[in-house]
Amino acid sequence: MDLRELTVIELLQQHSSIIDELKRRKIVRTKNNPVGDCTEWLVAKGLGLELAGNSSAGYDGIDSEGIKIQIKGRRITPENKSRQLSAIRKLEEKDFDQLAGVIFNENYEIIDAVLIPHEVIEEYAIYRSHVNAHILHLKGPILNDPRIRDIKKFISS
């Protein structure tokens, strides 16, 4: 099938069908942008986490030792190269122990995948009052911090 030959509505229908099938396979849990759900699925599978319910605030998965992991993913494209992860709410409440951050390229291939202790997040994340949350960019010095753990080999897209 040549996608260039499809109308806009046909493309959107294909997208909807693909999201439905990913949900049926339990790779995504919602019908929203699939990056977040796919990232949660990959990290949970790779690290042996049990995913929390969609209503669990502050963390997305928990390991066999009870360590709570918040999972964030970002897909970069030639049009948007930002490595800013989604907002980290209530950082000071310490609802998670570690954050798994994954950066994908536009084809969903993993560029970076790291596990970051909460105290490291506190050092690098910046509070933004207009979103009432902390913002973290997964680039530069944080990627070289010896306290983070590269988990790319444990997960695969």
Looking at the structure, do residues 129 and 52 belong to the same domain, yes or no? Answer: yes
Average pLDDT over residues 115-120: 98
Tell me how far apart the alpha carbons of residues 155 and 54 are, in angstroms, rounded to a whole number: 22
Looking at the structure, do residues 10 and 69 belong to the same domain, yes or no? Answer: no
CA geometry: angle 36, 38, 42, nearest 5 deg: 120
Domain encompassing residue 6: 1-32
Tell me how far apart the alpha carbons of residues 2 and 145 are, in angstroms, rounded to a whole number: 45
Looking at the structure, do residues 22 and 11 belong to the same domain, yes or no? Answer: yes
Tens of pLDDT, residue by residue over 44-65, are: 999 999 999 876 778 999 999 9
* CATH number reported for the structural domain that contains residue 41 in this entry: 3.40.1350
Looking at the structure, do residues 28 and 45 belong to the same domain, yes or no? Answer: no
Average pLDDT over residues 100-124: 95
Angle, in degrees to the nearest 10, between helices 8-24 and 34-47: 30
Looking at the structure, do residues 37 and 4 belong to the same domain, yes or no? Answer: no
Looking at the structure, do residues 28 and 2 belong to the same domain, yes or no? Answer: yes
The mean pLDDT of the chain is 93
pLDDT value of residue 1: 82
Looking at the structure, do residues 12 and 38 belong to the same domain, yes or no? Answer: no
Task: Supply the DSSP symbol for 32.
Answer: S
How many CB atoms are located within 10 Å of the residue 104 CB? 21
Asked if residues 22 and 34 have their Cβ atoms less than 8 Å apart, the reply is yes
Number of domains in the chain: 2
- pLDDT surpasses 60 at 157: no
